[in-house]
Amino acid sequence: MKNYRISLDNSALLQGRWDWSRLIVFHIIAMLLLISWLWQPTRALWDQLDIRIFHLLNAPLANHNTWAYFWAFGSMRLADMAVGLIMLGFLIKGNWLFAKDQVRTALFAFLSVLFLLLVIRIGLFSPLVKAMHWQHDGPSLVLDGAVRLGELFPDWDRFSHIKDNSNNSFPGDHASVLLLWAMFLYPFTKPWQRVLICLLTAIFLLPRLVAGAHWGTDIFIGGVFLSLIAFSWGFYTPFAACSVRWLERLFAPVFRFLQKIPGLNRISLIAGH
């Protein structure tokens, strides 16, 4: 098998230094997006887009069984778990996006910046959202005629909760994680792999929109804002590089133990090669 070796250490991401130009550019983009949502003339355009997106995606649920079944499954907690496994697979499958001896570094890098995203979301952005009264209900709780998947499939909803409504829909937390994942993988992919990742990201984002748990701007504004801020602070500062070194030292004894177990020592993440 041909080894497509990609060195994280020599990439633009885990550089272990401050990249002020990219850090500033990412923050400018994030702030312009947020301002476009807050400024009344452009907010009206975003609001119109929100309503059109919801009706376009949600209305067919009432008359198309296949459409309803597909998105009901996609809105279940079980589907979220499946999405998480797919995301993990892209990170730890050796000799695909990353060489076998790079998957552990890739996983640690993503997890460290995912943790940073959660800190920014919970510690900084949530208090700001509350103070500025930006929080709102999802469209299924606001707009007349909304089709609720939980009502169409009550047995499914009891088995594994269907996410078809939200009293705190801004920002899109699910979206911010998916977008961060896609942004992290993008520099290490070939053109066809980039298309695949973008396609999967779009598909994974859609259930919340179709079901009415989130407005489009919860994703396009809130989710993108958070992912841009976390990505830039994670990878255009020494944060990710330092975190990876710390995690590698912390988990070194665990991996040395796992490498002694037959079968497990063949997994790239554990073997380290």
- Mind spelling out the 3-state secondary structure of the chain? CCCCCCCCCCCCCCCCCCCHHHHHHHHHHHHHHHHHHHCHHHHHHHHHHHHHHHHHHHHHHHCCHHHHHHHHHHCEHHHHHHHHHHHHHHHHCECCCECHHHHHHHHHHHHHHHHHHHHHHHHHHHHHHHHHCCCCCCHHHCCCCCCCHHHHCHHHHHHCCECCCCCCCCCCHHHHHHHHHHHHHHHHCCHHHHHHHHHHHHHHHHHHHHHCCCCHHHHHHHHHHHHHHHHHHHHCCCHHHHHHHHHHHHHHHHHHHHCCCCCHHHCHHHHCC
In a domain, residue 155? The reply is yes
pLDDT the model gives residue 16: 80
Residue 138 makes CB contacts below 8 A (sequence gap 6+) with 165, 166, 167, 169, 212, 213, 214, 215, 218
In a domain, residue 16? The reply is no
Percent of the chain's residues with pLDDT above 70: 95
Q: Tell me how many degrees the CA angle 71-76-77 measures, rounded to the nearest 5.
A: 150
Q: Please give the radius of gyration of the chain, using alpha carbons only, rounded to the nearest integer.
A: 20
Tokens linked to 170: 């801004």
Partnered with residue 76 across adjacent β-strands are 162
pLDDT the model gives residue 267: 83
In a domain, residue 6? The reply is no
In a domain, residue 118? The reply is yes
- pLDDT tens for 7-66 read 454 444 577 889 999 999 999 999 999 999 999 999 999 999 999 999 999 999 999 889
In a domain, residue 157? The reply is yes
In a domain, residue 87? The reply is yes
pLDDT the model gives residue 90: 94
In a domain, residue 3? The reply is no
Structural domain including 94 reads 24-271
Average pLDDT estimate for 169-176: 94
pTM of the model: 0.92
In a domain, residue 125? The reply is yes
Q: How many domains does the chain have?
A: 1
